[in-house]
């Protein structure tokens, strides 16, 4: 095995994020002013952006490439998520600098851990074999455990850290057990080698040659365990219990990071593993995912109605949204017409979801940081006290409901379309009914903001850079909702790498 310059070039976006994390943490020792450290972290994120663009222009001419003997696949699908992660991270840094001042004097480590975790998230969609999946998953989730418990004077934060830790450890073990069975059955860990290996097992079983121990059963058990293991990361029912607790207890920027960046990468790796590795048994897992999608969105939406804490509400909303996204994963058509529709819809919706969820989290972060009140009732009178913030939160919630002309509407339309294309009309109908159901709790927040008066005189102001982050995310909601064409074409090109 030899590692060349080419391999290092292909992972230069991740490498530069890791180097930036080290720079940020060590700069903190030398510089007294925290503002400088944050500025370096934000501006430094331009480096992985530029590296990503140069890798992208390279593979546009030479085609998708692999690094480290196939351990990493660098194609447009992987790059789509690298850009998404870096953008989310930059906006998160801008909006959370005020919130993070409560961690004084440990702000730099907060940003450093976020950077390290996002390096894992950037590697995940590029994973070419199961070892890489496992290592990057752990690289992404170990820093998040520390981040969830970062507010160490607050008991809820420690509880969130402990819960995330326990569930991520158990889910990793389940996932690995599944990997072990897949490895035992196929004799390989490379995703691309699964395709010939799994049908070969089926052939051998039909001929009555039992040279492979537990052949067919091992694949089946492996797939079920892998779905369960990933289920925790995607927060789909019945593996969703940790989500609301962690969202409520963790510092708000960390909850936003989990809801947006971490979820996007988890969906990316699920698409990669199931569409390139396990597509010979697609008829089994696509039905499994379809049923889980229907249950997930229903459970998420129904429980969300009863919530009184805004962050918890967003936690249940994230579960319901995971259900919608899972529809796109389930919409596998194989060699049927438009096989890329499902993946394309997931990729597009993930970008739109990042925009709307970040807007919601940023406003909630700004408000709760000032008032210290995380209940929905605490938002009363926002329409008068902070008209612009109230309008932006309203826009984000309308988009999460799926009302035109926002990106949430277009994105859901594509997801339903993908489900119908895969002959799953029932799933699209359940999704539609769920959208109606979700309007109840999303719009009741809007009602509290505008129609309920409050004697709370606190006015909410924000620093300029936080406004800049909010401007980007809220414009993205409208721009992607009105002109989805450009991003959709990028998503389609990325999706074609997997089919």
Partner 1 sequence: MILELAHFQILAAALFCLGLYGVLARRSAVMVLMAVELMLNAVNINLVAFSAFRDISIVTGQVIAIFVITVAAAEIGLALAVIMRLYRRRGTVNVDEIDWMKG
User: Which residues of this protein are in contact with partner 1, per CB under 8 A?
Assistant: 130-131, 134-135, 138, 142, 145-146, 149, 152, 155-156, 158-162, 165-166, 169-170, 172-174, 176-177, 179-181, 183-184, 187-189, 213-214, 244-245, 248-249, 306-309, 312
Please name every residue paired with 72 in a beta bridge, in sequence order, or none if there are none.
67, 127
Nearer to partner 1, 106 or 177 (CB): 177
Smallest gap from Cβ 123 to partner 1, in A, equals 14
C-alpha closest to that of 95 among 314, 309, 363: 363
User: Least separation, in Å, of the C-beta of 187 and partner 1?
Assistant: 5
CB of 228 to partner 1, least distance (A): 11
Q: What DSSP character marks residue 337?
A: S
- CB 272 to partner 1: min, Å: 18
Instruction: Pick the closer one to partner 1 by CB: 50 or 173.
Output: 173
Cβ proximity of 330 and 290 under 8 Å:
yes
- Decide whether 153 or 335 has the Cβ nearer to partner 1: 153
Longest Cα–Cα distance of the chain, Å, equals 78
C-beta of 187 vs 196, nearer to partner 1: 187
Considering the complex, state which of residue 25 and residue 165 has its C-beta at the smaller distance from partner 1. Answer: 165
| Strand boundaries in 47-110, DSSP class E | 65-67, 72-74
Q: How far apart are CA 285 and CA 295, in angstroms?
A: 15
Shortest Cβ 121–partner 1 spacing (Å) = 16
Neighbours of 32 (CB within 10 A): 9
Buried-state track 220-232, b at ≥16 Cβ within 10 A, e below 16: ebbbbbbbbbbbb
Which CB atom, from 320 or from 389, has the smaller least distance to partner 1?
Answer: 320
Q: How far is the CB of 464 from partner 1 (least distance, A)?
A: 34
Q: Where are the strands (E) in 6-135, listed by range?
A: 65-67, 72-74
Q: Please state the φ and ψ torsions of residue 235, each to the nearest 5 degrees.
A: 50, 55
Report the residue number, 440 or 483, with the smaller CB distance to partner 1: 440
Pick between residue 375 and residue 493 the one whose CB is nearest to partner 1. 375
Cβ proximity to partner 1: between 97 and 132 the closer is 132
| Min CB(130)–partner 1 separation in Å | 8
Q: Output the smallest distance, CB 387 to partner 1, in A.
A: 30
Q: Smallest gap, in angstroms, from Cβ of residue 297 to partner 1?
A: 19
The region that residue 190 occupies, defined by phi over 0 for left and psi between -120 and 50 for alpha, beta otherwise, is beta
Residues in the chain: 499
Tokens of 448: 């509290």
Is 258 in contact with 246 (CB distance < 8 Å)? yes
Which residue's CB is nearer to partner 1, number 69 or number 461? Answer: 69
Q: Tell the smallest beta-carbon distance from residue 262 to partner 1 (Å).
A: 17
Q: Is-contact 46 18, C-beta < 8 A?
A: no
User: Which residue, among 12, 18, 248, has the nearest Cα to 139 in the 3D structure?
Assistant: 18
**C-alpha to C-alpha distance for 435 and 398, rounded to whole angstroms:** 11
Residue whose CB is less far from partner 1, 179 or 467 = 179
**What Rg do the C-alpha atoms of the chain give, in angstroms?**
22
Distance CA 239, CA 96 (A): 29
Residue tagged 């395709």 (tokens): 195
Shortest Cβ 219–partner 1 spacing (Å): 13
162 token code pair: 């402990």
Any idea which residue has 């005020």 for tokens? 98
């Amino acid at each position: 095995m030899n590692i060349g310059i080419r391999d290092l070039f292909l992972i230069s976006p991740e490498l530069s994020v890791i180097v930036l994390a080290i720079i940020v943490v060590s700069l903190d020792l030398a510089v007294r002013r925290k503002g400088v450290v944050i500025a370096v972290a934000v501006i430094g994120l331009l480096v992985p952006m530029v590296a990503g663009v140069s890798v992208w222009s390279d593979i546009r001419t030479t085609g998708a490439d692999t690094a480290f003997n196939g351990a990493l696949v660098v194609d447009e699908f992987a790059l789509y998520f690298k850009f998404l992660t870096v953008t989310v991270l930059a906006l998160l840094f801008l909006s959370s600098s005020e919130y993070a001042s409560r961690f004084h004097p440990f702000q730099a480590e907060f940003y450093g851990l976020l950077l390290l975790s996002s390096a894992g998230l950037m590697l995940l969609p590029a994973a070419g074999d199961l070892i890489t999946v496992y290592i990057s998953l752990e690289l992404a989730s170990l820093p998040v455990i520390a981040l969830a418990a970062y507010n160490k004077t607050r008991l809820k934060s420690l509880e969130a850290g402990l819960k995330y830790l326990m569930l991520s450890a158990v889910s990793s073990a389940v996932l690995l057990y599944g990997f072990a069975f897949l490895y035992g059955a196929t004799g390989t860990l490379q995703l691309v080698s699964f395709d010939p290996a799994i049908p070969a097992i089926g052939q051998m079983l039909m001929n009555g040659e039992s040279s492979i121990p537990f052949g067919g059963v091992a694949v089946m058990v492996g797939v079920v365990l892998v779905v369960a293991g990933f289920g925790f990361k995607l927060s789909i029912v019945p593996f969703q219990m940790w989500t609301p607790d962690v969202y409520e207890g963790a510092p708000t920027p960390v909850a936003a990071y989990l809801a947006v960046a971490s979820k996007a990468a988890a969906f990316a790796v699920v698409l990669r593993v199931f569409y390139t590795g396990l597509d010979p048994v697609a008829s089994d897992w696509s039905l499994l995912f379809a049923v889980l999608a229907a249950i997930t969105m229903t459970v998420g939406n129904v429980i969300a109605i009863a919530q009184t804490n805004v962050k918890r509400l967003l936690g249940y909303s994230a579960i319901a949204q995971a259900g919608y996204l899972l529809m796109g994963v389930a919409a596998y058509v194989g060699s049927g017409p438009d096989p890329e529709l499902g993946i394309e819809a997931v990729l597009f919706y993930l970008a739109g979801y990042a925009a709307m969820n970040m807007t919601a989290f940023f406003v909630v972060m700004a408000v709760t940081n000032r008032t210290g009140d995380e209940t929905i009732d605490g938002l009363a009178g926002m329409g008068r006290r902070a008209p612009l913030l109230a309008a932006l939160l309203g826009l984000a919630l309308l988009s999460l409901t799926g009302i035109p002309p926002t990106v949430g509407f277009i994105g859901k339309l594509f997801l339903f379309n993908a489900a119908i294309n895969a002959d799953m009309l029932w799933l699209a109908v359940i999704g539609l009914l769920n959208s109606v159901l979700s309007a109840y709790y999303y719009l009741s927040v809007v009602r509290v903001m505008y129609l309920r008066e409050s004697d709370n005189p606190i006015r909410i102001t924000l620093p300029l850079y936080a406004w800049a982050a909010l401007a980007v995310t809220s414009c993205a909601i409208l721009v992607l909702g009105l002109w989805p064409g450009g991003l959709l074409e990028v998503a389609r090109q990325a999706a074609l790498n997997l089919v």
